[in-house]
Structure formats: structure tokens, C-alpha cells
Chains A and B, each alone.
Chain A
Amino acid sequence: MMETRAVSKHYPQGRRLVKALSGVSISIAAGEFVSIMGPSGSGKSTLMHLLGALDSPSAGEVYFQGQPLHSLGDRELAHIRRTRIGFIFQFFNLLPTLTAAENVALPLLLAGQSRARALKPAHAVLERVGLGERVEHFPDELSGGEMQRVAIARALVIEPEAVLCDEPTGNLDSANSQEILKLLRSLPEQGKRSVVMITHDPQAAQVGDRVIHLRDGVVEREELFAPRRQHVLPVPHA
């Protein structure tokens, strides 16, 4: 479903050239939950950005559902992000002036849907992530865990084929982290979609089916876990 072939990413930082990734080849199957781990500067965020069509490689090839992302233009990449990939960030990245429902509806509004039409699925997804009562609340009226649920709902509202998470629990306490991980773990089952999660936390990484360890821009090793469908907890109110 998602694949990189000998992908490298170099970018200038001040006067030096940072080699973030060097010849990385990985493949992620449909419905798979993959965790990416590694120390700071290992290239895991860069890899996720390439998989998520946020950035283009310096060398190598990136495929999403067989489409060569490395050769697509900005407009096509934006379309893929808007319709097929959901993003979840460590710091939630919610717009403070929009309500929870409006934040969730944002990708649909960007796709040109009317406000009324976009808000319907937004309300439904918020209901699914347990925030049915908080749809009209603004981000500053929500807790950290609730904000991250809103961010997850925003990623899900487009019914994406892949969800990419960048340290989704990095800014949460342990109780909220557990809740969010359970929610994320439930995603691949619900639509055969893939989930890629970057994390520093080895325990969190084990929620995935597979863990890719990166170091100094190359894949150091991979860990494969047994399928754990039985561990999946139901999403609250789902």
C-alpha cells in the first residue's frame, strides 16, 4: 500500500547538508499498523513526511497505493493528503478559532464541501471518538486527551486509506496516552486502512503489528509482532 524504494532525503540546514535518510526501502501493507522508532535525528519524521506526501525525496521512489508520489505535482499531492491520508500531530494542531466539529470538518471544507454537508460526518466521527457532547467546544475548552481525539477525528473524517501519527501521545499523560493508543489500534480494523505511528515510547510502539527501528537515516532492524486482534478494545461509543 505504501512503499519506499531506496529513498534518501537531504536538506540544507544553515551551511551544512543534513542527510536525514539514506537509501531507505520499506513497505507497509493495507490494514497494517506500523510503528517507527528511533532516537532524535534518526530520520523517522522525515520518513513519515515522505510517506504522507508532505515532502519529496532527494533520491529514490515513494509509492502510495501504487501511485508514484515522487513524480506528482503539488496539486495532486495536496489532493491525496486531502482525500486519502489522515494526519495526527503531537501538538494536536487544532485551529483555536474553530469549534471541535469545525476543526474536524476542515478537510471537507477545504475539499469544497458546504458547511452543512461537512459538519454531518464531523459530528458522526466525533461521536465515534467519544466527543459527541463536545462538538461545539473550542480547543481551549478541551483537555489534552480530548484535543488529540479531535485531531484523530479530523484525520478520520475523510475516511482515509492511511493514518500517519507523529508522536500522538508525546504530549499526553499516561492515562490519556492509553486511551489514544487504544483508539489508534482500532483504526486498521475498521476500514482496512494502514496506520503509521512515530513514537519514542517502546511500549507504545508495541501497539503496532510491526516496529521499524531507524538510526542515522537507515533502517536498523524490524520487529514483527503476532496479530493481536484480540487485544483491540472497542472504541468508546463506537
Chain B
Amino acid sequence: MFSLFRTLSVRSFTRHWFRVAAIVLSIALGVATLVATRALNRTMGNAAVFAANPTTGVCDLVVANGDLTVPRALEAELRAVPGVLSAKPRIYENAYLPEHGDQPVLLMFVDLAGELKTTGPQQDVELSRGTELAFVTLGLLGTPAVVGKQLADSLPAGTTALGVRRGKASPTRMVSIAGSMNAKGNAAVLAGNVMLLDLSAAPTILGIDKTQVRRFDIVVVPGTNPAQVRDRIQGMLAGRAEVRTFQEQSDITGNVLTIMQTGFYLCGLAALVVGMFLVYNALSVTVAERRHEIGILLSVGATRGQILRLFAGEAVAMGFVGGLVGLPLGIGLAKLALLPVQDVLQNLIGELNARTVEIDGWLLAVGMLAGISTTVLASLIPAWQASRENPACAVRRVPKQASAANLLWQVAVSVLLVLVGTAMILGRERLPASLGSYGGLMLVMVGALVASPFCAALGAKLLQPLLRNYGSIEWRLAADNIVRSPGRTGLVIGALAAGVSLVVQTAGVIRSNRQTIRDWIDSDIGSDVILSAGTPVGAGGQTHPIPPSLVAEINRLPGVEITLPVRLRKVVFQGTPIMLMAADADLAFEAERKRLAKPERAELYRLLSETENGVIASENLAVRAKLQVGDVISLPGLNGQVDLRVLGIQADLTWGLGTIMIHRRDYLRHWQDDHVDVLDVYLHDPQAATQFKEVLLAKFGATHGLFPMTRNELKAYTDQLIEQVYSIAYAQQIVVMLVAALGVVTALVISVLQRRRELGMLRAIGASRGQVIHTVLAEACLMGLLGAVIGALVGIPLEWYVLNVVIREETGLTFPLILPWREALLVIAAALATATLAGLGPAWIAVRERIPEAIAYE
């Protein structure tokens, strides 16, 4: 078989190198997108989990309270729980080194004096010589720290400045490096960009009360079931904090990324599926072209199995090369996209520190396997068709009649896929998470792609009368050519349509998100200036706390009516991190009642101020958690479970997974946390907002790192955030479009080769080279037009689906369907231009041949 392959296939590859190159490149782009997407998803997912759980694998259970603190006094109680080997108080915080290019560093506050000598995970840790002594000595003078070996290698000995994201007013602190540590096994993280400090330094550096810590890392007695110990601890805590296994803790963090990761993953998959259909298309035509050769092979004794294996083998070879090209391309893409993607995610979920793309053998194997299996899958039908050829007809070149059975099969498969996909969507609540909504959508899209030859032929048929009467002969011939070979052009048009529909859908979602947020800011946020520290206000929780004393100072500034301090903390509710927003309800009522267009909203604030332990839930939380007014929700407080009654439900887009607004009075009582993250400033004259912002910056900007924003600036900032988030999706969709453009090139090259004699005849009867180029480009342009129009039409229901099914179910947020006319027109123009440009190469092939050769018979 190998000899046959070597003799026939390799020769065929050489003869049709351009087509082979296009197939290989299609697969390579699909594999690259898939690998890049998976690598980035994994890297970002791990970075997010690491940010929340830096000591992954070191402990069995985590006791924490979301972003809030837990009393250190719990340590003794936790140790007393049967099955607990150790319970170590921890504070983890991201920081940076201003003297070293703002290099990120993870601060780990632990009970250094005690822990460095104890048994447990630290057995894998090795301190540099003299560290312990230096630690004690330096501790007398300032703040000593032990740094990971990786960090130590890049830092000079002595003292270094430390910038803390959530620190007190002063942005930097000096720490003295006492030594370094090397670590292996589960503790290997300690050898990285880590700075180990004693818990006693946390109040100074982070402003956390000395009686509080962020979490306890629990190690259970070897041989004990962690789940059983968890249940015991849960009982002991009685609502004062949450205890979770490490996996559960990671899942909570992962939840935040899920929707984005799924979106990216689907886009990557879409590129591969589109590539698969284009490969199928190219292979089908190859089989048709080599029909004579197949007939000869069969007539000289080749078995049908050999023919089948020959074509499948060619597909494996092309898939293998496509995979080989796609893997480095994907790794390169992932590396290129790492920082931009990280920036986007940081704006959404908080500090991340992914420095390198995580790629392992498994990911590469998956990429390679995806490339090969996609090509083999695409080759199955063409290879089977080749093996079914009638040798006599093939040798005599008897034209193959279009089989009605084939047509029926295609229709049946298309209808079946659409029906199964629709059934999965409708029954998604009974299916595993995301399978119904995403898997169903994928099936519907693939079904539509299978049906695309009919749609393309139909579209071209509709255009025919128009072109017949008003178009030049070049356009007429181009339209005729599309109608007579829907199999060749249809899938390419379908692929283009897929790319265009994804772009239109994304543009629509962006517009809808943007408009909704703008409307929300206009109608539901009454403050004139929104003030944060460290970074602009966002939901990522990266802002620095604002000293409460600043409230009084701002209130004293001329023109200020009310300054409303707001605390934004994430708490875990029903396994998902939601935002707890603490604000003084009396002040909010006072400020907003004169400003808000919706008086009922201000009334809710009044109700909140009058009702103890009441909360206002955001609409999206109410949708996700099926909350109603009057329901009681339970959150872990410092002294046990806190029951809070839902007083009302309001539109609130602060956090994608839901927000609970609580009166600051109740928040202080249950969580004893008087930090402020955001100040809402209400002015007597809203027109003076810009001027007031300048005053704020001049007076407090430098000392507090303030980021004041007027309402208009807030709108512009959220617009920018939305654009950033979806820019990643756009990048992937461009790859889909590129794959489709490659399909256009392949389809047109095939068309030109098939129409070789026809184009030669046209030139013989007087068509100029320009006219032949014109007709080839016209065909490309028509393919682009049909793909773009079909894609734009499909993009609108797709947008509706993403808004009303995907986003609503994942976040509970409701966005209206807004048609992105401008973007749709732009993408149609881009698709037309791409397809037409893709036709240039084939057009050149069409005219470079001598007329006598083109019109000659064998």
C-alpha cells in the first residue's frame, strides 16, 4: 500500500501542490486556533486559580470568606477538629516591585517563625544559609522577607521597595531581604516570584486588622477523607466562614472564566470545523478530477479497499503536515495573545500573573490529533465515493450524473443535525452544563453548513435574472458557474457566511452590551463623579481601598452635595462569587431621590435604610438564583451565618454574576470592615463635574492615587472594556474568515482548472485577458456577496441566541437585540474584498495559459 501511495499520491501532491498547500494551510489555521485557544484558556484558568489559591496542592482544605477576612482566632478551633493535621493562617496578596520595572510578586504572609521549622509541606523547602538568623536580625530594624529562588536571582541583596495593590494610603513599603528559599514538589511555588513575610507585617503593609487573616490552609491527617473533615469543620464554623476542598475552591474561581473560556473554545472549534468542510470540498473535487485515474486503477486490478485507503491515506498525510505546521503557529499565536488577553481578564476578574503560555505534550497531542482526525473525517465521503466508481464509466469519461440519492442524503443530514441541535437547545436544562446551549448551537451551525450548497445555488439563482438583464457577460458567466457547481462553491460560501455571522453576532452583542450599560449609567447611577484609587473603577476588584477619612475631606470641597462611600467585596453565594456592595442607604436615598429617573429605585434605598438585615438583589442575580422579593439569602459573616431578606430587585450591572446591595450599617456589624473602594460624589451642579474632577486630582490625586471619572468618562471606559473583551473573539473570527478566504482560493483554483477549456474558448472567440480575469473575480466577488449576505442574516438570530440564551443563562443579565447595521455593512464589505482578493491568484492562473493548450483535447 505504501508503494502505491508513494507512486500515486506523492506524484499527485506534486502536481497539485497549490491545492495541497491550501488544504494543509486550512488545517494548520484550524489547529493553530484550537491550540492557541486551549493554551490560553488553560494558562488564564490556572493563573486565575493560582491567584486565588497560590498553594495549589499543598493543603487539602481552605477556610475562607470570599474577599473578606476570617478571625485568626479560629486557628485553635480548627486544629481541634478531628482529622486536622495543621491549620495555618494565611494572607496572600499580589504586589509589585516599583524599582524593578513593576515586576509582579506574590506576597505570602505566614507565621514564619513557627512554620519554617515545622514538618509538613515545608519539608520540600530549603532555605539559603543564614536566612533564619538574618530574618531575626532584620526583624529588629524593619520588615524582613524571604524570597523565592527565582525572584532572588533577579533582585540585589538588601532592601527593596514593595508596591501593594490593596495597601494603605502609602503605595510602597520597604522590605529587607533576609534570604532565599528553594522548593520542590507541591511546594515548588515557593521557589518562584514569591515573597514570604510574617503575618505580623500584614497590618502595616495591607492594613488588615491583626486579629484577621484571609484564610486558613488545612492539611488533614494522612489517610483521612478530606470530605469528612470538611463536614466536621463546616459544623464547627457555624456560618462564620466557608470551608471547601481545594477543587471546590478552584471551581469557584474557574466559574468566572467559564463563559469566556467556552466562547473562545467554540471560536477555535469553529475555525477547525470550517476548515474541515473546506478540506472536504477540496478533496471531493480532487476525487472528481482523478476519476479517470481511479477508473484505470480499478481496471488494472485495484480493489475498492485500496482506493479507499489511498485517498484516506492522502488525507492523513495532509492532516499530519497541517498539524505540524499548526502547532508552532498556535503556540506563537498564544504567546502573542498572552499579554493582551491577560490585560482584558485582569479588568474583569482581578490580578493575574501568567508569564508564560502553558503548553504540554498532551495539548500538542490533542492539536495534532484534531488536525489529523478532522482531515480524515473530511476525506471519508470523498474516499468512499472514489472507491464506488464504475471503472468502465470512469475510464471512458462518461459524465457522472448528479445522484438524487446524494442530494437526499445531504438534505437529510442537514435537517437531522438542525433538528438534533434544536432539540438539545430546547432540552438544555436536562443536559450537562453547556452541552445543550453550546453543543446544540454547534450542531445547528454544522447542519446549516451542510445545507450551504443549496442556499448558495438558490442565492445565485435569485441573482441570475438581475445579472442576465443588467450585468455584463462576465458577471452572467460567474453567476452561471456558481449555479452549476453548488457543491464546489456552496461550502466555501457557507464558510464565509459562518465567519461573517460570527462577526455580526459579536458586533451586535457589543452594541447591545454597550447600549445597555450606557442606559444603566444614565438611568440608575445618579452620582456625578465616581472615584476609585489605584486603578479606574471596575469589577475586577483591583482598586486600592480609599481611606474613610477622605470622605469628610471631599465633603468639605466646594460644590459637593453628598459623598457616598461604597465597599465592593466578593462573597461566595451558591458556589459562585457574587458582589456584595455596601453603601449607606440613607445617604443613597438622599442623593438619588432627586436625581434618578426611576423614583422606585430611590424608594428601595429608603426601605433598605429602614429595614435591618435587608438587601437589594440585582436582576441578574435574581434570574440566576431564582430569587424573589421576600426571600432570605444566607452569607457567611464573621460571627456566623448572616440571614438577609431580599427587599427589592433592581437593575445593576456592577458584576456579571450578580450583586447584593446592603446597608453599610449592617455590613459593618456583620463583617466589621470599614474599607471603602469607591466614592460616589454628588455635586450641586452636575455640569461642573469635569471641573470638579480636576480639583480632586490636584488636591488628592498624587497622595491617594485617585482615578476620578465623570459619568461620560465612565461610559467611555466601559465601552473600552467591552471592546477589549470582545477583541479576542474578533481575533479568532478573523482566523475563521482567513480559513474561509483560503477556501475561496481553493474553490476558484479548482473552478479555473475545471473551466480551463471554457476560459480558453472565451479567449479564442475574442475575450481579452482582462475579461477572463473579470469573470473569475466576478465569481469570487459573488461568492463573497452570497457568503456575506447569508452570514449577516444568520448573524442576527445568532446574536439573539447569544444574548437571550448563552449570556442570560450564564450571568442572568438581559440585553436587548440591537442590529449592528454599521458593522454588518463593514463586514460585508470586508468579506467582499477578501473574497475578491482571494480570486486574484486563480484569475492569474486562468490567463497565464496559452490558448491552444487550454482548448486542446488530450
Binding site for B on A (CB under 8 A): 11, 45-46, 49, 52, 54-55, 74-75, 78-79, 81-83, 86-87, 89-91, 93, 95-98, 106-107, 109-112, 115, 154-155, 158
Residues in B neighbouring A83, C-beta threshold 8 A:
766
Q: A97 contacts which of B480, B757, B771, B850 (Cβ < 8 Å)? A: B480
Known: A93-B855, A97-B484. 9 other contacts (CB 8 A): A11-B850, A75-B768, A81-B764, A81-B766, A83-B766, A95-B480, A110-B767, A111-B766, A115-B469
Q: Which residue of B lies closest to A83 (CB)?
A: B766
The answer on a CB contact under 8 Å between A109 and B473 is yes
The answer on a CB contact under 8 Å between A93 and B763 is no
Question: Given A93-B757, A93-B758, A115-B469, are A110 and B851 neighbors across the interface (CB < 8 Å)?
Answer: no
Q: Which residue of A lies closest to B850 (CB)?
A: A55
Number of A-B contacts (CB under 8 A): 78
Query: In the complex, A11 Cα to B850 Cα: how many Å?
Result: 11
Residues in B neighbouring A82, C-beta threshold 8 A:
765-768
Does B819 count as interface, using CB distance less than 8 angstroms? no
Q: Which residue of B lies closest to A55 (CB)?
A: B852
Question: Given A54-B851, A106-B473, are A78 and B481 neighbors across the interface (CB < 8 Å)?
Answer: no
Query: In the complex, A86 Cα to B472 Cα: how many Å?
Result: 22
The answer on a CB contact under 8 Å between B764 and A54 is yes
The answer on a CB contact under 8 Å between A79 and B765 is no
The answer on a CB contact under 8 Å between A106 and B765 is yes
* B 756-802 contacts with A by CB, 8 A: 757-758, 761-771
In order of increasing CB-CB distance, the 3 nearest A-B pairs are A82-B766, A97-B480, A109-B473
The answer on a CB contact under 8 Å between B484 and A81 is no
Give the Cβ gap from B255 to chain A, nearest Cβ, in Å: 57
What are the interface flags for B825-858 relative to A under an 8 Å C-beta threshold, 1 for contact and 0 otherwise?
0000000000000000000000000111001110
Q: Which residue of A lies closest to B469 (CB)?
A: A115
Question: Given A87-B764, A97-B480, are A78 and B857 neighbors across the interface (CB < 8 Å)?
Answer: no
Residues in A neighbouring B758, C-beta threshold 8 A:
93, 95
Does B503 count as interface, using CB distance less than 8 angstroms? no
Does B483 count as interface, using CB distance less than 8 angstroms? yes
Q: B766 contacts which of A46, A79, A91 (Cβ < 8 Å)? A: A79
Give the Cβ gap from A186 to chain B, nearest Cβ, in Å: 21
| 5 cross-chain CB contacts under 8 A | A54-B852, A55-B850, A82-B768, A91-B857, A95-B480
Does B468 count as interface, using CB distance less than 8 angstroms? yes
Give the Cβ gap from A99 to chain B, nearest Cβ, in Å: 10
The answer on a CB contact under 8 Å between A97 and B767 is no
The answer on a CB contact under 8 Å between B850 and A81 is no
Give the Cβ gap from B792 to chain A, nearest Cβ, in Å: 28
Does B477 count as interface, using CB distance less than 8 angstroms? yes
Residues in A neighbouring B469, C-beta threshold 8 A:
115
Question: Given A90-B857, A97-B481, are A78 and B852 neighbors across the interface (CB < 8 Å)?
Answer: no
Residues in B neighbouring A52, C-beta threshold 8 A:
764
Question: Given A45-B852, A93-B757, are A87 and B480 neighbors across the interface (CB < 8 Å)?
Answer: no
Residues in A neighbouring B766, C-beta threshold 8 A:
78-79, 81-83, 107, 110-111, 158
Q: Which residue of A lies closest to B470 (CB)?
A: A115
What are the interface flags for B478-505 relative to A under an 8 Å C-beta threshold, 1 for contact and 0 otherwise?
0011011000000000000000000000
Give the Cβ gap from B708 to chain A, nearest Cβ, in Å: 67
Interface size class of B (residues with CB under 8 A): 20 to 34
Residues in A neighbouring B472, C-beta threshold 8 A:
109, 112
Residues in A neighbouring B851, C-beta threshold 8 A:
49, 54-55
Residues in A neighbouring B856, C-beta threshold 8 A:
45
Q: Which residue of B lies closest to A94 (CB)?
A: B761
B473, B757, B856, B857, most chain A CB atoms within 10 A: B473
Question: Given A45-B852, A106-B473, are A96 and B484 neighbors across the interface (CB < 8 Å)?
Answer: yes
The answer on a CB contact under 8 Å between A110 and B473 is yes
Q: Which residue of A lies closest to B770 (CB)?
A: A75
Query: In the complex, A112 Cα to B765 Cα: how many Å?
Result: 14
Query: In the complex, A54 Cα to B767 Cα: how many Å?
Result: 11
Question: Given A87-B765, A106-B765, A110-B767, are A95 and B477 neighbors across the interface (CB < 8 Å)?
Answer: yes
Q: Which residue of A lies closest to B765 (CB)?
A: A107
Residues in A neighbouring B757, C-beta threshold 8 A:
93
Give the Cβ gap from A77 to chain B, nearest Cβ, in Å: 9
Give the Cβ gap from A154 to chain B, nearest Cβ, in Å: 7
Residues in A neighbouring B855, C-beta threshold 8 A:
89, 93
Give the Cβ gap from B539 to chain A, nearest Cβ, in Å: 59
Residues in B neighbouring A49, C-beta threshold 8 A:
851-852
What are the interface flags for B734-772 relative to A under an 8 Å C-beta threshold, 1 for contact and 0 otherwise?
000000000000000000000001100111111111110
Q: Which residue of B lies closest to A20 (CB)?
A: B852
Question: Given A46-B852, A49-B851, A95-B477, are A78 and B769 neighbors across the interface (CB < 8 Å)?
Answer: yes
What are the interface flags for B418-458 relative to A under an 8 Å C-beta threshold, 1 for contact and 0 otherwise?
00000000000000000000000000000000000000000
Query: In the complex, A179 Cα to B856 Cα: how many Å?
Result: 25
The answer on a CB contact under 8 Å between A74 and B483 is no
Query: In the complex, A185 Cα to B112 Cα: how many Å?
Result: 111
Query: In the complex, A97 Cα to B473 Cα: how many Å?
Result: 12
Residues in B neighbouring A110, C-beta threshold 8 A:
473, 762, 765-767, 771
Residues in A neighbouring B763, C-beta threshold 8 A:
54, 78, 81
Q: B767 contacts which of A78, A86, A89, A155 (Cβ < 8 Å)? A: A78
Q: B768 contacts which of A45, A54, A78 (Cβ < 8 Å)? A: A78
Query: In the complex, A106 Cα to B767 Cα: how many Å?
Result: 9
Q: Which residue of A lies closest to B775 (CB)?
A: A110
Query: In the complex, A130 Cα to B439 Cα: how many Å?
Result: 62
Q: Which residue of A lies closest to B483 (CB)?
A: A97
Query: In the complex, A78 Cα to B481 Cα: how many Å?
Result: 23
Residues in B neighbouring A46, C-beta threshold 8 A:
852
Q: Which residue of A lies closest to B768 (CB)?
A: A78
Query: In the complex, A175 Cα to B484 Cα: how many Å?
Result: 33
Residues in B neighbouring A95, C-beta threshold 8 A:
477, 480, 758
Query: In the complex, A23 Cα to B225 Cα: how many Å?
Result: 99
Residues in B neighbouring A89, C-beta threshold 8 A:
761, 764, 855
Query: In the complex, A45 Cα to B857 Cα: how many Å?
Result: 12
Query: In the complex, A81 Cα to B766 Cα: how many Å?
Result: 5
Q: A98 contacts which of B480, B768, B850 (Cβ < 8 Å)? A: B480
Q: Which residue of A lies closest to B854 (CB)?
A: A54
Residues in B neighbouring A87, C-beta threshold 8 A:
764-765
Q: Which residue of A lies closest to B760 (CB)?
A: A93
B477, B765, B856, B857, most chain A CB atoms within 10 A: B765
Q: Which residue of A lies closest to B769 (CB)?
A: A74
Give the Cβ gap from B726 to chain A, nearest Cβ, in Å: 43
Q: Which residue of A lies closest to B474 (CB)?
A: A110
Query: In the complex, A58 Cα to B706 Cα: how many Å?
Result: 81
Residues in B neighbouring A93, C-beta threshold 8 A:
757-758, 761, 764, 855
Query: In the complex, A87 Cα to B476 Cα: how many Å?
Result: 22
Residues in B neighbouring A90, C-beta threshold 8 A:
857
Give the Cβ gap from B25 to chain A, nearest Cβ, in Å: 29
Query: In the complex, A83 Cα to B768 Cα: how many Å?
Result: 12
Residues in A neighbouring B767, C-beta threshold 8 A:
78, 82, 110
Residues in B neighbouring A11, C-beta threshold 8 A:
850
The answer on a CB contact under 8 Å between B768 and A154 is no
Query: In the complex, A54 Cα to B850 Cα: how many Å?
Result: 8
Give the Cβ gap from B247 to chain A, nearest Cβ, in Å: 63
Residues in A neighbouring B761, C-beta threshold 8 A:
89, 93
Query: In the complex, A154 Cα to B481 Cα: how many Å?
Result: 21
* B 703-717 contacts with A by CB, 8 A: none
Q: Which residue of B lies closest to A116 (CB)?
A: B469
Give the Cβ gap from A168 to chain B, nearest Cβ, in Å: 14
Residues in B neighbouring A112, C-beta threshold 8 A:
472
Give the Cβ gap from B673 to chain A, nearest Cβ, in Å: 77
Give the Cβ gap from A144 to chain B, nearest Cβ, in Å: 15
